[in-house]
Amino acid sequence: MRRVLITLVSALLVPLALPGATWATFPGRNGRIAFVRAEAATCYDDTGAPRTVTVWMVLASGRGLRRVAFGPELAYAWLGGWSPTGSALALRLADCAAEGVGQSFVRADGRSIPGLGWGGRGYGAAVTGWLSRSRVLGDADLGAGSSVWSMGLKPSSDGYAWGDHAHLIARHAESGTASARGTVAFVRGGTIRLLLPGHRSHHLVGGGQPDWAPDSRRIAYVRGGDLWIIDTRTRRVRRLTRTPAVKERHPVWSPDGREVAYDSNGSIAIIPSRGGSPRTLVADGRSPSWQPRPPYGALHPACPAYCG
């Protein structure tokens, strides 16, 4: 059984320096996409299956492919999404050699951010989204079964520290994600639900792996191995892909809302959000996470550029 690392796994992060404006905080019109890539297996995950993974970033144009997180032997990597300002990416990493799991963060340029693992507060959680620059959503079992919680972060010049105690968002739920306006969606029992005041929720649509569009109105999600989009105001549902032989997963919106990136049988593809023909961005990758465009004036002058 793996022991949870109290120290951050950021020691595993060995960014490869690439100077130049290509790796500015938010390059171009649509930023960058982070994803996970499976390598030649040299260790085993918690199911006993051989696995070694690395974490990469690429510009939305397909240029500038770069490995940004590389451990001696990483058995697992979960991308917990970008901070609202697009300046920090949360990762949960499993170190094969140390048989431990820890939460980490990297800057948009791939450099690791100092911080601490989940073990020190006993959260045992994985970040799945951000409510604000100082509060994250995470899946955890903290005495309420697998549930969605919110946890505070304290950005500082030294990186991240945990803030206040965890707060329960939804019991027996997973995949919590928040819109730019703070509306939380999560998955329970194979359905996507929207959080209401008083910890109540209502059914939205059957499916999983929801991701909010930048307009805080549409949600892309997965159902039956295909991608769908629902308008949360009108409840109008639209099918984005129809590929019986291909299993699509993990849809994520572009910052301008015009495209959706997703995992297509182990490759990263991008499709127009209005429908159309997809294009392959990366031939070998999974679990994409698309960097949001930093809102104007979101970064306080006293806060480092990677605070989120």
The first and second tokens of residue 263, run together, are: 């995992």
Whether residue 302 lies inside any domain: the answer is no
pLDDT the model gives residue 274 = 95
Does one domain contain both 4 and 107?
A: yes
List the strands of the sheet with 174-178, edge to edge. 174-178, 184-188, 191-196, 200-206
Whether residue 162 lies inside any domain: the answer is yes
Whether residue 225 lies inside any domain: the answer is yes
Does one domain contain both 130 and 115?
A: no
Whether residue 304 lies inside any domain: the answer is no
Whether residue 307 lies inside any domain: the answer is no
Picking from 141, 175, 206, the residue at the C-terminal end of a domain is 206
Does one domain contain both 57 and 167?
A: no
Does one domain contain both 6 and 51?
A: yes
Does one domain contain both 116 and 34?
A: yes
pLDDT the model gives residue 110 = 75
Angle made by CA atoms 165, 169, 174, in degrees to the nearest 5: 115
- Domain with 265, as residue range(s), is 214-293
Residues of the chain with pLDDT under 70: 1-24, 39-51, 69-75, 94-102, 114-125, 142-144, 155-159, 164, 295-308
pLDDT the model gives residue 175 = 93
Picking from 73, 92, 120, the residue at the C-terminal end of a domain is 120
Whether residue 308 lies inside any domain: the answer is no
Does one domain contain both 105 and 2?
A: yes
Whether residue 288 lies inside any domain: the answer is yes
Looking at the 3D structure of the chain, how many domains does it have? 3
Task: Tell me the helix, strand and coil percentages in the chain, rounded to 5.
Answer: 5, 50, 45
Does one domain contain both 190 and 234?
A: no
Report yes or no: 35 and 249 within 8 Å, Cβ to Cβ.
Answer: no
Task: Name the pTM for this structure.
Answer: 0.82
Does one domain contain both 71 and 10?
A: yes
Give 62's contacts (C-beta < 8 A, 6+ positions apart). Answer: 281, 282
pLDDT the model gives residue 107 = 82
pLDDT the model gives residue 240 = 97
Does one domain contain both 7 and 98?
A: yes
Does one domain contain both 129 and 112?
A: no
Does one domain contain both 172 and 223?
A: no
pLDDT the model gives residue 294 = 74
Whether residue 260 lies inside any domain: the answer is yes
pLDDT the model gives residue 144 = 57
pLDDT the model gives residue 18 = 33
pLDDT the model gives residue 233 = 95
Give me the phi and psi of 307, to 5 degrees please. -60, -30
H or E stretch including 78? strand 74-82
Does one domain contain both 132 and 198?
A: yes
Q: Which of 176, 178, 201 is nearest to 126 (CA)?
A: 176
Q: CA-CA distance, 230 to 68, in Å (whole number)? A: 33
Picking from 61, 90, 120, the residue at the C-terminal end of a domain is 120
Q: CA-CA distance, 244 to 104, in Å (whole number)? A: 36
